[in-house]
Structure 1
Amino acid sequence: MEDRKEVIEMELTIEQKQRKYEKDKEWRKNNPDKIKEYAKRSYEKNKEKQSLYYKEYYKLHKERILLNHKLWVEQKAIDSVYCFRDIDGNVLYWGSSSRFQERISSHLVGNSHLSMKADEMVSEWLLDKIEYQNYSQYNLSRADLYYIESYHKIKEKEMLKTAEVHYNENELTRSKEDLQLLADSLEFVEFDKLEKYLN
């Protein structure tokens, strides 16, 4: 009997916590200005303490922080030409970017000229995978990437009709023949984070 009473009290406590959480959540939703004011006062009150904390944390973990930043920059800054393919292997879209991860993320959250999120691409266009070629080690110009994208578009038509790719021939760092050979020889790698953008 005593055990049952303790369980009931525990359940009531959980329910009370849940009600308090919902009440606080509703209050925050209805009082955004008060929340901002509270956050501002809290920052002013604790900014010296927080500043000291972050300085000490940086001193203790400087090497790891710098390494993580370096890896983050390297991962983001990939010179690439990429394509979206449907379940039959047809190309839906060709693109190129000097910041591959960032550009792909923009596409998949609907923040690009494609105006479709990842789940919409899957349901409407049967998007199956994204593939890319990594040209980072070749020190290509943006014009080179545009040319390679254009070359791929001519070789393998995209189903989503987009604007023609323009490039400045004077800014090509190699001959068109060399760029074509590079485009034909470089392996495509599958982007492995598509799933996280699907609802």
Structure 2
Amino acid sequence: MKALFLNCTLKPSPEESNTAVLNQKCRDVLEDLGVETEEIRVVDHEIPARMEADAGAGDEWPEIFQKVLDAEILVVSTPIWLGEKSSLATKVMERLYASSGETNDKGQWIYYNKVGGTVITGNEDGGKASARSILYGLQHIGFTIPPNADVYWVGEGGPGPSYIEAGQSNEWTQRNTRIMAHNLYHFARMFAERPIPAEGNTMES
């Protein structure tokens, strides 16, 4: 089983990313459960803003999209800026949406039997708003969202310490990281053993 984390931080590698650190906490739990995990830092790749699967020469999205298809679990992670998910997270959701009309071998939408979640960091309000936007978008295009499929850490309002500096010991975030990882795993395993039947949810039905 594979889990792909698309880190939508605005910080290119090798800059320190709070979102990557919280991602790693979730990855550790999944890996303990036997899941193979990978994180892609979106900002390190050339991904044009397009509503199409492949924008042509220089577009690195098709390679990332193939990794999405190869994974049973997708986590879109983002920092909070101005109370919202990052511009790169919006771009990722748009590129995922661009392929949502494709179908699997049963005629269902391409993201059926995949589960989605989100990881969010910031030192201002916006955790729930960012999660709501991402999780709604994922389920709308065919991903299944398990219970408690979001985890975030935000500090006090205004400038303040980051997740790395002050959030790693937060009991609520630690607990929800564990719960989210386990629920993503349980649902992915459930679909691996018993996929969503095609009856009633194909292009033909």
Q: TM-score, normalised by structure 2?
A: 0.23
Q: Which has the higher contact order (CA 8 A, sep 6+)?
A: 2
Q: TM-score, normalised by structure 1?
A: 0.23
Structure with more of its chain in helix, by fraction = 1
The structure number with the bigger radius of gyration is 1
